[in-house]
């Protein structure tokens, strides 16, 4: 499928989720959502934005570390500008940001694009690994909450649809389990032989190669430190964001971790996270006792703060790049870095 059609399809999914949440709302529920948005203290989002900018700065610093073994030491500011313009491009077209990032650094730091693409694979591999680790941690330390999410959002709807209130739950569960195993097995056999399966295997190999390349870095300790720091800052952004609404300010660290991880999945599913992010954040917060209307409003507030950050800093970076690079730029190799 052409990339443009993929973009349209996933955007349609996001907009469909927005419609799914809002089309059955009563007038009172709509008023409650707008009331939550009006009562939010947006000044308390300033620390969230500051931490967000810092996380993007350290992402640029980490990216530089991956380039050093290749013999290149680009300017941290140029690397930061490239990261932010990349995020800006991702708002328009998913995955365009990675190409844009590499193109900007290649242009202003004279680094071959093919070498930069390899560094991007390593970055994405580590972020994917950390996301998976955090998912496992979230499930382990909050098995009761995650179980509640499964029961409320998956089990009960299935049970109600099948009218299983008076039948054996164990038989229903066994039937669902067997059905899922069969579907999974058949799906695996079909996908593994298809072009999608080949792409998935290639992606898995790329992720593994990216992780292995980190072992060849001289400053791998710093790389791991910055990787963890970036995710800690994402976590801090979510926790600090709770304070902007009265309905969420009493939620704890565990809730912030769960919303961060599940919300991150939403950011991946649709372009810019539109629809999917708000939907998943709402469903997660409802498990912690937040009203559905307030939870939905919070999802829009946090998503909007992140989007505004990218728009402002991304556009600013796009303007600053030619101004900052007026002087001729030498090759960013190790030899050019000696003063």
> Tens digits of per-residue pLDDT, 250-301?
998 999 999 999 888 888 777 777 778 888 898 899 888 898 888 889 999 9
Instruction: Determine the Cα–Cα distance for residues 335 and 72; give it in Å rounded to an integer.
Output: 9
Residue 142 has pLDDT above 90, yes or no: no
Q: What pLDDT score does 56 carry?
A: 96
Helices assigned H by DSSP within the chain: 3-22, 27-39, 46-67, 76-92, 96-109, 113-141, 143-150, 156-162, 169-192, 195-214, 220-241, 253-269, 276-287, 292-324
> Tens digits of per-residue pLDDT, 112-136?
887 788 788 788 888 888 988 998 8
Residue 286 lies in a domain: yes
Residue 105 lies in a domain: yes
Residue 187 lies in a domain: yes
Residue 272 lies in a domain: yes
Q: What pLDDT score does 240 carry?
A: 95
Residue 222 lies in a domain: yes
Residue 312: domain span: 43-160+171-330
Residue 73 lies in a domain: yes
Residue 337 has pLDDT above 50, yes or no: no
Judge contact between 206 and 121, C-beta under 8 A: yes
> Tens digits of per-residue pLDDT, 167-188?
555 555 566 566 666 666 666 5
Residue 22 lies in a domain: no
Residue 10 lies in a domain: no
Instruction: Determine the Cα–Cα distance for residues 9 and 249; give it in Å rounded to an integer.
Output: 36
> Tens digits of per-residue pLDDT, 223-240?
989 999 999 999 999 999
Count of domains for the chain: 1
Confidence of residue 334 (pLDDT cuts 50, 70, 90): very low
CA dihedral of 299, 152, 127, 295, whole degrees rounded to 10: 10
Q: At 72, phi and psi to the nearest 5?
A: -125, 140
Q: Which among 229, 266, 217 has a CA at the least distance from the CA of 60?
A: 229
For residue 333, what are the β-bridge partners? Answer: 72
Q: What pLDDT score does 327 carry?
A: 65
């Amino acid at each position: 499928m052409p990339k443009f059609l993929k973009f349209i399809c996933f955007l349609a999914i996001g907009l469909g989720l927005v419609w799914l949440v809002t089309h059955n709302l009563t007038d009172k529920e709509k008023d409650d959502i707008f009331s939550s948005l009006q009562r939010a203290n947006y000044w308390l989002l300033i620390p969230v934005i500051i931490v967000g900018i810092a996380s993007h700065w350290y992402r640029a610093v980490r990216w530089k570390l991956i380039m050093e073994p290749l013999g290149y030491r680009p300017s941290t500011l140029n690397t930061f500008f490239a990261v932010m313009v990349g995020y800006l491009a991702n708002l328009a077209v998913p995955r365009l940001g990675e190409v844009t990032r590499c193109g900007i650094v290649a242009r202003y730091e004279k680094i071959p694009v093919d070498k930069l693409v390899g560094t991007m694979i390593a970055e994405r591999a580590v972020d994917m690994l950390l996301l998976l680790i955090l998912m496992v941690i979230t499930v382990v330390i909050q098995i009761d909450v995650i179980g509640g999410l499964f029961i409320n959002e998956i089990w009960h709807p299935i049970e109600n649809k099948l009218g299983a209130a008076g039948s054996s739950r164990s038989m229903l569960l066994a039937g669902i389990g067997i059905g899922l195993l069969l579907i999974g097995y058949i799906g695996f056999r079909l996908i593994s032989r298809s072009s999608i399966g080949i792409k998935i295997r290639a992606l898995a190999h790329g992720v593994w190669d990216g992780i292995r390349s980190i072992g060849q870095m001289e400053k791998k300790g710093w790389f791991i430190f910055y990787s963890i720091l970036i995710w800690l800052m994402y976590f801090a952004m979510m926790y600090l964001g709770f304070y902007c609404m009265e309905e969420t300010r009493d939620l704890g660290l565990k809730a912030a971790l769960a919303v961060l991880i599940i919300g991150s999945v939403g950011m991946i599913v649709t372009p810019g996270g539109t629809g999917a992010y708000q939907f998943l954040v709402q469903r997660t917060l409802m498990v912690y006792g937040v009203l559905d209307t307030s939870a939905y409003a919070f999802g829009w507030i946090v998503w909007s703060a992140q989007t505004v950050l990218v728009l402002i800093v991304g556009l600013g970076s796009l303007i600053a790049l030619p101004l900052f690079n007026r002087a001729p730029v030498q090759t960013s190799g190790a030899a050019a870095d000696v003063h």
